[in-house]
Chain A
């Protein structure tokens, strides 16, 4: 007998202290449906799902399964009730095998608590065969590619007989091709009777797979939408106002090439070539966007330029001078501005004041320091003007940077890096986890820096952002350069490139290499 579930969330409210993360949310997931929760970063989607999964206790409201109210004291209860969840950051123990991970929490045992993983292996094989997953139960999870790890997560839920599967931003780590495969799997699961709650902010995917869409904004349900609705419509619902889908950007006026990377190879501690023979250059006054799925060498590339990587071969020339082999400080002093991909880890010190963060890479230079003595007055003075210039919303520069919102934190990092004369500007994931208002602001500042004649390199895993900012697009796959294409290149071509298929190999050969004037296309449409 196939058990199907009707899941209802009624008036779910979740407060964290004074903060309202979910405000009386009502959602009904019909059996055998793919129900999408659409919303911006920070809209409260994950919080809601964590409530549903028993990880948080709701402050108010109730969960009903087939019309009966239930209360989950923990994920165990939720699983018992037939709810499974695939978290955005996989909940897998890296040093365990697939079977151990799948068994964990519901271990088949022999007498006296001894594990009996044969049973688990059999179930994994069974499910793996049914959906064509191709997962080896005895492989160590840390050795598996991300896409396979995600399948292990799905298996984990299915082994527990999940009838409702929550997928939290499942495509963030996937190539467009892997994404399509996942969407297929979702349809398969649906036809097998499993309902799916699909959390995403990517309109294209949402439209492709959903039966129903619930849009959440600032912790509230703002309405439901038809998957057939236009992207513009969905986008404005999600953001709460008309969204400009394109950045107003003058065509690039590239001047001389001042930044060159030649045969750059970065070797990871495990001996792998994470960046493999890269060569490219950037001219003054142009933006080169580096696209690719997360984990294909982008991080290592920027770290190599900055001097944070140890085993690097090749050559990195800025204004004709070699950057390789220099310390981070020397690279920064050569005029490189750098916005790291994870601001809370690499870009800011949360417990330091905003003012201190604004001089984090210049604390030992005039006017902030004389010898080894520092001048707190000068530091605060600087903070005042930067905060004003970049519209950082804070009552005082003396507050800890960790108290700022994501968008404002990013403004602090950007303000620090852009407030000195630069010879090269590198921004990695410049708008990750940032609200739409700040995105527009930050994008404009990046373009303004380009227009001042600085070579700019943007690294982004969001194809929309790449297409919006780029004058040229370089695509990385497994540390290698798949190709460099002009800004107007289509989404499908870029998608294939992100899977490692060079542009020459598919039907529309694009003239690679030359910088063409940007014609910001509205083809994809879902620029949010």
Chain B
């Protein structure tokens, strides 16, 4: 039967031209259908991959690829954010203000002052986060780096939680609340129970993870059952957790005896993370667990059926459902795991760095985790690296404030600018003059075709 038809198929012309033409046609449909699929996605599935501007194929040269690729955009985005941050620092600098009064007479003075103001702060930032040349011996010189790792620990695990949810198409703004609930449970187990070494810490960890998983899973449950939007739910849950914590810290069960401030008793020595490089650094076991969590999340996403389900639900929930994947279950599960990961951050806080529970247990780690996940493009190792970077910013900012008086808030500025720029590669490329040839106008145009014609003309 097929013999009868196949010659007809190619009979329209010489084989070569026919093939060429049909491949052109296939390409049309290709672009159109990519966009149709894009339109079918939940908007929240967009952040990680769809915005990298990477379309398959394209005859770009290698060099151009390197310069326009997403890796380069990330580097340039960081650079751009640092430059703008530097300008902000310079704008409030006294020396800069003085020199600006005779700007037109001696512009070099002004520029030098700008340069000095910015670099002074950034050098202090570097010295506070990576390597301090004035330290006493190697151990002390690398102390800032150890501090960076310590601060990066909760950022990494909470960031992984946010990233994992992203991959399943969910916008988890709730790491903050998940850290708090985890902190509450972990701290309580840590100071209220008396258990042997090892078991106690294990229980602290488990309690924290369960707390976070519960708080996250609850959002997943509400979303799956009622269709409520997870962004609103998680924001609200953050506040509910915070006020609940504040309430608890005023109850006898949580408040430190004899203390009028809302602060819990110190956790038992059996309940805290051991310091892995000796007592001179704050770096604790939690960092190794963060590495383990990264590996685990990588495996889960890329090598397990559960991760396949998460990714499928994130990319196209309708198709996932049609293929027999239980979308509700996936939603609940991924939010629970995300919450559990954020919960590890809560444990790192109460059992690692703070060793007590206060209403500042989550600091801003939960919100920073969002930027970490975005910078890491929602991949496990990307998130890990982004966590280290932002950890370095946080650690170095303290030193920077002491040395140069530049407020810590500059870190927030740089951090948010990085994410904004990373999310908009065309803007970064335009600023650095790296726009690839005529690619940008093509995309919107074709997706428009898909939108108006539904892919069938």
State which of B28, B30, B40, B304 has its C-beta within 8 Å of the C-beta of A372: B304
Once the chains are docked, how many angstroms separate the CA of A249 from the CA of B374?
A: 55
Whole-angstrom CA separation of A277 from B38 in the bound complex: 37
Instruction: Decide: A218 near B21, CB < 8 A? Known: A244-B8, A360-B319, A406-B455.
Output: yes
Does B11 make an interface contact (CB < 8 A)? yes
Alpha-carbon separation in the docked complex, A367 to B304 (Å): 13
Indicate which residue in A19, A328, A346 contacts B28 across the interface (CB closer than 8 Å): A19
Interface status of B64 (Cβ within 8 A of chain A): no
A56 to B454: give the CA distance in the assembly, Å: 16
Among the listed B319, B438, B449, which residue makes an inter-chain contact with A46, where contact means beta carbons less than 8 Å apart? B449
Q: Does A364 contact B (CB under 8 A)?
A: yes
- Partner of B25 from the list A242, A374, A405, A433 (CB cut-off 8 Å) is A405
How far apart sit A344 and B438, CA to CA, in the bound complex (Å)?
A: 27
Contact flags (1/0) for B72-88 with A, using CB distance below 8 Å? 00000000000000000
A47 at the interface (CB under 8 A from B): yes
- Report the minimum CB–CB distance from B266 to chain A (whole Å): 40
| Minimum C-beta distance from B121 to chain A (A) | 41
Query: With A329-B324, A329-B326, A346-B318 given, is the CB distance from A17 to B312 under 8 Å?
Result: no
Residues of B within 8 Å of A351, CB to CB, are 37, 49-50, 315-316
**A376 is contacted by which of B12, B28, B56, B303 (Cβ under 8 Å)?**
B303
Provide the residues of chain B in CB contact with A478, threshold 8 Å: none
Q: Is B456 among interface residues, defined by CB-CB distance under 8 A? A: yes
Between A242, A347, A402, the greatest number of chain B beta carbons within 10 A of the residue's beta carbon is seen for A402
The residues of A that contact B225 with a CB separation of less than 8 Å are none
Distance of A54 from chain B, by nearest CB (Å):
12
Q: Is A159 an interface position by the 8 A CB rule? A: no
How many Å from the CB of B342 to the closest CB on chain A? Answer: 22
Chain A positions within 8 Å of B31 at CB level: 16-17, 19
User: In the complex the two chains form, is A403's CB within 8 Å of B25's CB?
Assistant: no
CA distance A400 to B22 in the complex (A): 19
Task: Check if A245 is an interface residue, CB within 8 A of chain B.
Answer: no
Chain B positions within 8 Å of A50 at CB level: 449, 452-453
Residues 425-465 of A contacting B (Cβ, < 8 Å): 432-433, 435, 437, 440, 444
Q: How large is the interface on A (under 10, 10 to 19, 20 to 34, 35 or more residues)?
A: 35 or more
A403 and B27 CA atoms in complex are apart in Å by 7
Contact for B11 among A241, A352, A405, CB less than 8 A: A241
Min Cβ gap B14→A in Å is: 13
Q: Does B4 contact A (CB under 8 A)?
A: yes
Name B26's contact: one of A43, A338, A373, A393 (CB within 8 Å): A393
Mask for A10-52, Cβ within 8 A of B = 1, else 0? 0000001111110000000000000000010111111100100
Q: Does A248 contact B (CB under 8 A)?
A: yes
Q: A19-B31, A55-B448, A444-B1 are in contact. Are A88 and B319 (CB under 8 A)?
A: no
In B1-31, the 8 Å CB interface with A consists of 1-2, 4-5, 8-9, 11-12, 21-31
Q: In the complex, A39→B33 CA distance in Å?
A: 19
Interface residue A205 (Cβ < 8 Å from any Cβ of B): no
Instruction: Report how far A214 CA is from B50 CA in the complex, Å.
Output: 39
The interface of chain B, by Cβ under 8 A from chain A, is 1-2, 4-5, 8-9, 11-12, 21-31, 33-34, 36-38, 40, 49-50, 56-57, 303-306, 308-309, 311-312, 315-316, 318-326, 438-439, 441-443, 445-446, 448-449, 452-457
Ordered by A's residue number, 11 sampled pairs between the chains whose C-beta atoms are within 8 Å are: A17-B438, A88-B453, A169-B457, A332-B324, A340-B322, A346-B322, A348-B37, A350-B37, A403-B30, A404-B29, A433-B455
